[in-house]
A and B are shown apart, each in its own frame.
Chain A
Amino acid sequence: MEYDTAFKTISDLGRLLATREISSVELTHDYLRRIEQYDRRIGAYLAVTADLAVDQAECADRLLARGEGGPLTGIPMALKDILSTRGLPTTCGSRILEKYIPQYSATVVEKLERAGAVLLGKTNMDEFAMGSSNEHSAFRPVRNPWDFDRVPGGSSGGSAAAVSAGMAAFALGTDTGGSIRQPASLTGTVGLKPTYGRVSRYGLVAFASSLDQVGPITRSVRDAALVLQVIAGWDPRDSTTARADVPDYVAALDGGIRGLRLGLPIEYFGEGMSPGVEARIRSAVDAFRDLGATVEEISLPHTHYGISTYYVISPAEAMANLARYDGVRFGLSSAGCDIWETYANTRQAGFGREVKRRILLGAYALSAGYYDAYYLKAQKVRTLVKAELDRAFQRFDALLAPTSPTVAFKIGEKAGDPLQMYLSDVYTVPANMAGNTGLSVPAGLSEGLPVGLQILGRQLDEATVLRVGHAFEEATGYSADRPDLSAAAPA
């Protein structure tokens, strides 16, 4: 019974709950047991909120017994620890916020609560969302459920690992340069980065304000649509949210994709991409042609400048956003003999190496004498990257690409070489810089490890991206692949 519920989708679980074959309390206990059984090895959770989860499950069961509730009622979920949860620690994977307890919840958290989802806990992440491997958490790394010696990706590594290992039915992650899509790809789950402004950032601890987005990590594309339906929408508390109506994402899934025009950016198939990943993507292209879509190549020459642009703009924005951690109003405070020493000591003690790296990079790019050459230049190249993508979407309804150039790499393999780590974001950063939406769906295995296919869409066109992903998933069944966790079970 326990194993039966573990890898089910929200849709499957919803059916079991609706027919009362299982209660939300039973379901919640199943997930809590699995967390107890596997998470010591995997490290996906920073905090497990067992009592709260059971209380919420009991509420959900009462709603369900009255025939009320929606698709997420009673469904156990996890939240990346960068999302403010009132009364619960929100650490952002950092020592500087280790004891910080927000006095409010993020809009997306409130929406999921109102929808009746059950909170299992807060997930591990690269510190302040800076990383692509979840090795930069101040607390412990997360391990990939498919191979515990490998990374799950990052920065939403905990959320992805939790869903991948059946330790949550779904999770929320955040994506600034690929941090939902890349870990989804490496863990064989579905990850959606909505259009910038589609989902409220109120209560999301800021990394890069013009790039950050909150999105779902799920076991199926339909599930991603179900979660997006709840969290999307204009929010008066976030002035960067789009006023656009929220369409019915679930209804839009089943249109089929016959006649849809799909583009394949040739620059994405260059050096650095492993042959195994390329093979899965080429195979996916065949699958789309079989489904009646057209797939044609397109050149996006500014792809080569994506990483450089991103790694100037995002650290610059991060430097500004992390200036608030100064030991005065919240978080770690390490007093010095005067205020300046207090600032310096607090930030030295509280921030990890990767965060320090990015703050310095950002400050350098913005400093007098370098601003024009770095930050302003990067912003102009960003315009060109965006314009190029916009032109592509005049010819195509969606673009296909790999999510990550490789499958999950070994823990420690790239951590010592920041540039190597940064280069693994090459396929994901364009969507953040242009503000477009991107979905990663499982596309099969290479060397026994998951490969993700990325589907990029027009701004505010999540419906098409989800429809394409759903068609692929239905045709191939790769989303049902699951890791063998027997090595994680305690003796």
Chain B
Amino acid sequence: MAVSREVVEHVAALVHLGLDPSETEELARDLSSVLEHVAILQQVDTRDVSPTGHALEMRDVMRDDVVVPSWSPQEVLANAPRRNGDFFEVQGILD
């Protein structure tokens, strides 16, 4: 399954991953190689097989609706690259 540069660029944009042109070339080759191997999954008969998302049988794990202490603003903001009072400062997302 050959993956083109364009596809790599498209997927990189989806995950907000900047790439320079040489990286894009090499990653296209790497992805192609892996996807070619992974294609053998198509050989497996999975009709009537349901997907496994979780290896341990577990449903509806709940806790009591009780308020417990959380973190202080100081702790939350301790690693903030840009801080404004008790807020993370971030560039605008909406115009």
Contacts and interface: CB of A to CB of B under 8 A. Distances in A.
Interface stretch (A154-162, A173-181, A337-345): A337-345
B11 to A, nearest CB: 5
B2 interface: no
6 contacts: A103-B78, A104-B75, A210-B53, A211-B55, A240-B56, A357-B34
B90 interface: yes
Contact of A327 (B12, B44, B56, B81): B81
A338 B91 contact: yes
A363 B18 contact: no
B80 to A, nearest CB: 6
Contacts of A345: 18
A347 B79 contact: no
A81 to B, nearest CB: 16
Mostly, the B contact residues are loop
Nearest to A435: B55
A380 B54 CA distance: 12
Interface in B1-57: 3, 7-8, 11-12, 14-20, 23, 26-27, 30-31, 33-35, 37-42, 44, 46, 49-56
B17 to A, nearest CB: 5
B48 to A, nearest CB: 10
Contacts of A308: 37-41
A328 to B, nearest CB: 5
A436 B56 CA distance: 9
Contacts of A104: 71, 75
Contacts of A197: 55-56, 58
A112 interface: no
Interface of B: 3, 7-8, 11-12, 14-20, 23, 26-27, 30-31, 33-35, 37-42, 44, 46, 49-56, 58, 61, 63, 71, 75-76, 78-82, 88, 90-93
A138 to B, nearest CB: 15
B63 A330 contact: no
Mostly, the A contact residues are helix
> What are the 10 closest A-B residue pairs judged by CB atoms, nearest first?
A435-B55, A379-B51, A348-B18, A333-B81, A344-B18, A330-B79, A343-B16, A380-B46, A339-B91, A103-B75
B51 A382 contact: yes
Which of A236, A380, A433, A459 neighbours the largest number of chain B CB atoms within 10 Å of its CB?
A380
Given A308-B40, A348-B18, A378-B41, A384 B49 contact: yes
Contacts of A367: 11, 14
Interface stretch (A114-122, A182-190, A369-377): A369-377
Given A328-B81, A338-B92, A383 B38 contact: no
A379 B52 contact: yes
B21 to A, nearest CB: 12
B40 A418 contact: no
Contacts of B81: 327-328, 330-333
A311 interface: yes
Interface residues of A, number: 75
Contact of B88 (A242, A328, A374): A328
Given A329-B80, A373-B42, A319 B27 contact: no
Which of A319, A340, A356, A367 neighbours the largest number of chain B CB atoms within 10 Å of its CB?
A356
Nearest to A349: B18
Contacts of A422: 34, 37
Interface in A171-221: 195-197, 210-211
B34 to A, nearest CB: 6
Interface in A19-44: none
Contacts of A433: 52, 55
A318 to B, nearest CB: 11
Contacts of A240: 54, 56, 58, 61
Nearest to A434: B55
Which of B17, B52, B81 neighbours the largest number of chain A CB atoms within 10 Å of its CB?
B52
Contacts of A380: 44, 46, 49-52
Nearest to A420: B33
A305 B42 CA distance: 10
A347 B18 contact: yes
Interface string A286-326: 00000000000000001011011101100000010001001
Contacts of B91: 335, 338-339, 342
